[in-house]
Structure 1
Amino acid sequence: MEKRMKRLYLVRHGQTEYNLKHLVQGRCDSPLTELGRTQALAAGRWLADHEVRPRAAGTSPLGRAFSTLGLLLSCLTERGLVDQGLTPRAIQGLIERDYGTFERGPMADVPANVWDPGDALIPYGGEDNAALRGRMITALRELLAPENVGCALAVSHGSASQQFLKACMPVDGVPAKLPNCAIMVCDYAPATGEFFVKDIVDPCA
């Protein structure tokens, strides 16, 4: 018997202090700004308005992603859409790209497209696109793997989420830059391990 499709909601974190300063924040961290918190609440209200009921919730282990997930879940909990037993999980595979020696420095110093640098960062101790795509896909498959999980909510980062999209849809349909708290709505086919991007929503637009 063919397994039914599952649903994934993947969200980029809210605006951070480093976003404002145009600094590279891959594996290093920066707190959400007040606007970032407002963006996360707007995304949470969008999820609640669409009656999203996650049975699993995962996040990058970095604080900006954890904070965003907490605000999303607060909106869903307020509407009675979250089971009491739901425990958010920190998932290493959802962390942002490693930018090597460019971490914490000006984005303008990165010798390639910051969002999509290919393998240009490898000589500087950074991570290439193939490695990033692979771990994102693996992490999200594992989040959705349990039989009782038909819907999952995850929070990741800009470059990481963009590479996930490039692995799952025609490249010419992937935004050049994802806004903070963009919501990527995806179907997942457990039988084949494929993700199908249904929509990319900017809840703050």
Structure 2
Amino acid sequence: MNKQIYILRHGQTRFNAEGRLQGHCNSALTALGESQALALGRALYRHLQQSGETAQQWQVIASPLGRAIQTAQRVCEGLGLDDSAIQTDERVMEARLGDWEQQAINDIMAAHPQLTGRADWYLQAPNAESLEAIKARLESWLADPATPQKIILISHGLTGQILRGKLGGLTDAAMWQLDRPQDAFYLYSQQQLSRHPVSQ
């Protein structure tokens, strides 16, 4: 696959700060989340400059969930792009976490101690989206002829983790060990993934 993809996670949200699960529900970015998103955009701008490219050569694609749109707006600000540059695609939304959405992680773990230490515990909720379903929609997005070749993707923690696992050819066990940073972005280029930390 010849695509080049910058993979970004949304900034910190209120539910992130409170230790609650979001999934397909949404909570707004915190002040820290707003600054993280702007810092991502500015760092990306510098990275593109160093590569001899401009943001206009790339398509910004975001999950349609509010926290990703908010982040994409701040990223575009850092890149010098207008919000109209943002396209959305439901296939890069966060995993649906079923009956556990909006619940506190501590409460979930207290009620289900057997999940302690299990990296894929998020998807064990009643009515949660399966890993296979998430992979299928990401594969559909990657293979779609309408998906651009140069993408700045603003997605989510779990979805970004699963996408990077797929792009890196990792086993599920190795994929679940990947990080989900809000202070770094990844670049997939020439079939290699590289991590780029961001200072605020």
TM-score exceeds 0.5: yes
**Structure 1 unaligned spans of 5+:** 189-195
Q: Note the 1:114-129 alignment, pairs <5 A.
A: 116-117=120-121, 120-121=124-125, 124-129=126-131
Q: Note the 1:49-88 alignment, pairs <5 A.
A: 49-51=46-48, 52-53=54-55, 54-77=57-80, 82=81, 87-88=85-86
Q: 3-state SS of the aligned residue for 2:85? A: coil
1:200 equivalent in alignment to 2:195:
yes
CA contact (8 A) 2:120 2:176 kept: no
Structure (1 or 2) with the greater helix fraction: 2
Alpha-carbon distance in structure 2 between the residues aligned to 1:55 and 1:146 = 14
Percent identity between matched residues is: 25
Q: Note the 1:1-205 alignment, pairs <5 A.
A: 5-51=2-48, 52-53=54-55, 54-77=57-80, 82=81, 87-108=85-106, 109=108, 111=112, 112=115, 116-117=120-121, 120-121=124-125, 124-142=126-144, 145-146=145-146, 149-169=148-168, 170-171=170-171, 172=174, 175-187=177-189, 196-204=191-199
Q: Which moved more, 1:108-117 or 1:22-31?
A: 108-117
Superposition deviation, residue 136 in structure 1: 2.0
Q: 3-state SS of the aligned residue for 2:121? A: coil
Superposition deviation, residue 85 in structure 1: 11
RMSD of the alignment, in Å? 2.8
CA contact (8 A) 2:93 2:159 kept: yes
**Structure 2 unaligned spans of 5+:** 49-53
Structure 1 counterpart of 2:67, one-letter code:
R
Per-residue CA deviation, residues 71-109 of structure 1 (Å, 9 max, x unaligned), is 1111111xxxx5x79631121111111111001001230
Superposition deviation, residue 146 in structure 1: 4.7
Superposition deviation, residue 203 in structure 1: 1.2
Structure 1 counterpart of 2:128, one-letter code:
G
Per-residue CA deviation, residues 43-64 of structure 1 (Å, 9 max, x unaligned), is 1111100125243221111110
Match in the other structure for 1:193: none
TM-score normalised by structure 1 residue count: 0.78
